[in-house]
Amino acid sequence: MREYLDFEKPIAEIEEKIEKLAAVAHGKASAQDDLGKLRIKLHKLQADIYTGLTPWQRTQVARHPQRPSTLDYIGRICDSFQELHGDRLYGDDHAIVAGMAKLNGQSVVIIGSQKGKTLKERMQRNFGMPNPEGYRKALRLMRLAEKFNKPVLTFIDTPGAYPGIGAEERGQAEAIARNLFVMASLKVPIVSVVIGEGGSGGALAIGMADRLLMLQHAVYSVISPEGCAAILWNDPKKAPDAAEALKMTAEDLLRLGVADEIIPEPPGGANRDPQAMCDAVKKAVALHLGEMLALPLEELLRRRTRKYRKIGVLGGE
């Protein structure tokens, strides 16, 4: 069953009418005409709503439970995928999926956060919040990529790193910092795609890339709107105001030089047409990987350094 967000209720009402009318419209010309009018009305309403989404509404879309996940993209865009497990230090973290894949015949290393869709899957995946062993597994795969000269592709969809006591005891901050340190000078191209929610250092730990792509309704920020509202105003209900202030939408981040490309989503969001969304992601990733694979290593690393030195600088370098 399709799940609707609060602001999608008008869309839900029209789609319900369409379903009921379609069930009795066979062979009735007048009913077919009414169906056509309803579909036109639905298309216009969908366009109007999604053209004017607020940052908070975009956050809700980015968190939609039926949105394509890392494993959905891997299954639809890769010719093959061999998942690898464990960090060789503590254990395996199911919130991070990692392995070797083929993309348009090119060998790549894929790393991505995975939230899960059913309650059982979400609990198994810790709701997409990795522990230190998840980031160390990602680091192990990145070093393998460098050793065998394979580009790295990461998918970001996490509310952030897991803040539990055990995670802190096992060195959560160090694991994230180590990944940033290594990714800054990793000697292979890195492409990251924010497919949903990119939260804090938990997202950045697999997102310090040569090219950062964002889906149209994805969000990326240093903290969740709810967390920001709780800290600034001591009131989580001010999350919509926080989302506005955080400048976390794809358009904001493209303008600020954090994101390098926005990948358009199907009308109504990626969950409405997962195959079309996967096709668009595959095309964009292949384009950026092709451009970077053509660069000499020294130039690749020079551009990566320049990209991150420019972020946050007013008036250019």
95/43 same-domain check: no
For residue range 109-121, list pLDDT tens digits in order.
Answer: 999 999 998 899 9
Same domain, yes or no: 219 and 100: yes
Judge if 125 and 263 occupy the same domain.
yes
Backbone angles phi, psi at 69, to 5 degrees: -105, 180
Residues 131 and 256 in one domain: yes
- The answer on pLDDT for 79 being more than 70 is yes
d(CA 192, CA 29) in angstroms, rounded, equals 50
pLDDT digits (tens, 9 = 90+) for 135-157: 999 999 999 999 999 999 999 99
End-to-end CA distance of the chain: 50
Which region among 28-42, 61-75, 161-175, 221-235 has the lowest average model confidence (pLDDT)?
28-42
233 and 172 together in one domain: yes
Query: Into how many domains does the chain fold?
Result: 2
Sorted by sequence, the CB contacts under 8 Å of residue 196 that are 6+ apart come out as: 62, 63, 64, 67, 69, 115, 156, 157, 215, 218
Q: How far apart are CA 303 and CA 298, in angstroms?
A: 9
Specify which residues 82 forms β-bridges with: 100
Q: Are 148 and 173 found together in one domain? A: yes
pLDDT single digits (tens) 275-309: 999 999 999 999 999 999 999 999 999 999 999 99
Q: Are residues 69 and 203 in the same domain?
A: yes
305 and 255, same domain (yes or no): yes
Domain that holds residue 271: 59-310
Please tell me whether residues 148 and 13 are part of one structural domain: no
Of 52, 67, 87, at which residue does a domain stop? 52
In-domain check, residue 269: yes
CATH number at 227 reads 3.90.226.10
The reply to whether 47 and 68 lie within a common domain is: no
Do both 64 and 188 map to the same domain? yes
